[in-house]
Chain A
């Protein structure tokens, strides 16, 4: 859950940038971009290392005996348990298991799937990566773009009807479980309610005449896009508030600033003051938020994929849950966490480039 909750942030708003600016001014030193990059990369690397250790800890240390947890009801005899332990190297000392785990993970070996009869987990993940990336990517970009726009309109018309309607609506969508909204949208626009016919496909990523390996034609792209409408709409609606509220509070921070008064005094039109001056500055803190929200959108995508049966990482994980397919769960945990960490790193690097004040 956590940081991307839209609410705690309006309070802090662009506070990090301001605090950074203040401390930079106080020390009078500012790191070069190179050193900033180095620091951020080291931070991301330490996060990755933590995720690796956590992955090991969760799956091999916490349950006491993974063979028993894993094989709840599946292994009848002690021999089967022993065979399982030997298969997965669980009979070795923990320290040795840890090094084997590190070596294997570094080589891209994430173990084999129990459900898919020995198919390597890494292969499964690579197969399922694209639908998730597509869904998460499109949803993030759209909700960021629309959210920022709504936030600007809200802040500029603070307290007026537009602001109240926009804030109220985005907050209501924010309060919905993604998958529940997905189900409602399926009922309304997929199956159709009353006189309304079903407009969009209710599930999957392709129609039956196409598959994941089909040649990329215009028809194929159109078909995929049509299948993505409802799941993307679900995620966009739920995550709009993340962006609109931050943008709103960040722009409200700027509104009292002297440079805006100067811009107005120069005789610039209201629209120009808003677009060229206020919005550009207020956008900066939002950059990092896009990456932070990735973690949540990835989480949301897991349930949305399940509702819309989109063959992505989320569906892979939820299918693995019922078995439970241990190494598939571990693999999806490692890959999604790593993805979010890398996305955060990229956003931080861009932020540092756009706003030198944070490099302190």
Chain B
């Protein structure tokens, strides 16, 4: 002890902080090598900035039906991407729609992440019948097809933004739980967890201090991938008429475009741009998620 006390004083907290910074640097260095991941990150940053600065990019009044200034389904000209059936600028709708679409995607994913991680950790860590029951429960949810279940839930709960988030959140957690479970099973057998166990660590300590921190990177990678699916789910529910009619999202835009027959009347500017936005954002989340997965999973990196 006397030897260390002569060295410059470093608190354990500083050490951990140093290590975290080093870890983050390593992760970034490794992520940077994925060109597709960087491309996705760039796209994502762009859309996030658009969503955050929506009020600066488009006047909030421009998406109010009663204050619309354009003609009905005007083709691109006066307005960069034309207008919708209410005479609102498509660009303004896209800008404001990005908020709702991203909000629904991210919030729904948070719900599935929390449920999925808790169930996955518990079913991977406990033994005996509680684990078996949780595993079965996950399997049950895994096989139920999403759209029929979501339709039923959304019908029963009613149509609002919060309900859409809940529906997507509680239908999407099972695959996360399965992934976390298999990760937990493998981490549980590692020497350092065994050592902690032998030193008398309780289940809670093992879980919170050893298993959870090691599962977190995979949870993070999985989260980005799930956001992509949640955004797709939002468009599908909106298309089925289960979206919140009072809010503009890319999904509800596509739904109204389909409703007014934009495709058959040749109003491509109404139906193509929102779809392209969905594709780009979903692709961005997917690419980032895949790159993160490779960064965090050494088995994949070796290949």
Chain A residues close to B by CB (< 8 Å):
1-5, 7-8, 10-12, 15-16, 19, 43, 46-47, 50-51, 54, 58-59, 62-63, 69, 158, 168, 171-172, 174-180, 183-184, 186-187, 191, 249, 252-253, 255-256, 292, 294-296, 298-300, 302-303, 306-307, 317-318, 321-322, 324, 329-330, 332-333, 336-337, 340-341, 344
Apart from A175-B278, A175-B280, A299-B236: 12 A-B pairs, beta carbons within 8 A: A7-B293, A11-B293, A58-B152, A158-B303, A168-B36, A176-B278, A177-B239, A180-B271, A252-B303, A303-B147, A322-B241, A340-B143
Partner of B145, one of A253, A296, A303: A296
B161 close to A (CB within 8 Å)? no
Do the beta carbons of A298 and B275 come within 8 Å of each other?
Answer: no
User: How far in angstroms is the closest Cβ of chain B from A45?
Assistant: 11
Instruction: Identify which of B168, B225, B280 gathers the most chain A CB atoms within 10 Å of its CB.
Output: B225
B171 to A7, Cβ gap below 8 A? no
Contact of B151 (CB < 8 Å), options: A43, A175, A294, A317: A317
Q: How many Å lie between the Cα of A179 and that of B240 in the bound state? A: 10
- Report whether A180 and B151 are in contact in the complex, using a CB–CB cutoff of 8 Å: no
A253 to B303, CA, bound (A): 8
Do B142 and A3 have beta carbons less than 8 Å apart?
yes
Bound-state Cα–Cα, A152 to B156, Å: 44
Are A1 and B144 neighbours in the complex by a CB distance under 8 Å?
A: no
Option from B148, B171, B185 in Cβ contact (under 8 Å) with A302: B148
Whether A2 contacts B172 by the Cβ 8 Å rule is yes
Asked if B144 contacts A337 (CB within 8 A), the reply is: yes
Instruction: Please indicate the chain A residues that have their CB under 8 angstroms from the CB of B235 in the complex.
Output: 177, 180
CA distance A267 to B287 in the complex (A): 39
B254 at the interface (CB under 8 A from A): yes
B146 sits at the interface (CB 8 A): yes
Are B225 and A295 in touch, CB under 8 angstroms?
A: no
Given A5-B225, A322-B241, A337 contacting B152 (CB threshold 8 A): no
B279 at the interface (CB under 8 A from A): yes
Given known A-B contacts A58-B156, A302-B148, A337-B145, A8 and B279 have beta carbons under 8 A apart: no
Q: Which residues 142-200 in B have Cβ within 8 Å of A in the complex?
A: 142-149, 151-153, 155-157, 168, 171-172, 174-176, 178-179, 182, 185
> Which chain A residues border B178 with CB–CB below 8 Å?
3
- Contact in complex: B236, A177 (CB < 8 Å): yes
Interface of B is mostly: helix
CB-CB nearest in chain B for A53 = B140
Indicate which residue in A1, A43, A59 contacts B171 across the interface (CB closer than 8 Å): A1
| Nearest CB in chain B to that of A302: its residue | B147
Would you call B171 and A2 a contact (CB within 8 A)? yes
8 Å CB contact of A340 from B144, B176, B282, B290: B144
In the complex, A332→B147 CA distance in Å? 11
Given known contacts A176-B279, A303-B147, A337-B148, A59 and B156 CB-to-CB distance under 8 angstroms: yes
Q: Does B243 contact A (CB under 8 A)?
A: no
Whose C-beta in chain B lies nearest to the C-beta of A337?
B144
Q: Which of B146, B168, B258, B293 contacts A299 (CB 8 A)?
A: B146
B143 touches A321 (CB 8 A): no
Contact A8 B222 (CB under 8 A): yes
The 4 lowest CB-CB distance pairs between A and B, nearest first, are A299-B147, A175-B282, A295-B145, A3-B175
Q: Is A321 in contact with B241, judged by CB distance below 8 angstroms?
A: yes
Q: Which residues of B contact A299 (CB under 8 A)?
A: 145-148, 236
User: Is B232 an interface residue, CB under 8 A from the partner?
Assistant: yes
Report if B117 contacts A (CB, 8 A): no
List the B side residues contacting A255 at CB < 8 Å. 303
Q: Which of A158, A295, A300 contacts B144 (CB 8 A)?
A: A295
When the two chains form the complex, which single residue of B145, B174, B229, B263 contacts A183, counting CB atoms closer than 8 Å?
A: B263
Interface residue tally of chain B, by bracket?
35 or more
Given A177-B232, A341-B143, residue A2 in contact with residue B286 (CB < 8 A): no
Contacts of B221 in A (CB 8 A): 11
CA distance A330 to B148 in the complex (A): 9
Q: Contact at B156–A62, with CB atoms within 8 Å?
A: yes
A321 touches B175 (CB 8 A): no
Determine the chain B residues whose CB is within 8 A of the CB of A176 once the complex forms. Answer: 275, 278-279, 282
Chain B residues with CB under 8 A of A54: 144
B286 to A174, Cβ gap below 8 A? yes
Residue of B nearest to A241 (CB): B286
For residue A239, give the distance in angstroms from its CB to the closest CB of chain B: 13
Contacts of B268 in A (CB 8 A): 187
Contact partners of A318 in chain B: CB under 8 A: 151, 240
Chain A residue with Cβ nearest B137: A50
In the complex, how many angstroms separate the beta carbon of A42 from the nearest chain B beta carbon? Answer: 10
**Chain B residues closer than 8 Å to A180, beta-carbon distance:** 235, 254, 271, 275, 278
Return the CB mask of B230-249 against A: 1 if under 8 Å, else 0. 10110110011110000000
Q: Mark B114-138, 1 if CB is under 8 A from A, else 0.
A: 0000000000000000000000100
A191 to B268, CA, bound (A): 13
In the complex, what residue of chain B is closest to A5 when comparing beta carbons? B229
The reply to whether A336 and B148 contact each other, CB–CB distance below 8 Å, is yes
Q: Are the CB atoms of B152 and A329 closer together than 8 Å?
A: yes
Which residues from B are CB-within-8-Å of A298?
145, 147-148
Given contact pairs A1-B171, A46-B140, A58-B156, A186 touches B146 in the complex (Cβ within 8 A):
no
Closest to B264 in A: A191
With both chains docked as a complex, state the minimum distance between the C-beta of A337 and any C-beta of chain B, in angstroms. Answer: 5
Contacts of B226 in A (CB 8 A): 1, 5
A340 to B145 Cα, complex, angstroms:
7
In the assembled complex, which residues on chain A have CB atoms less than 8 Å from the CB atom of B278? Answer: 175-177, 180
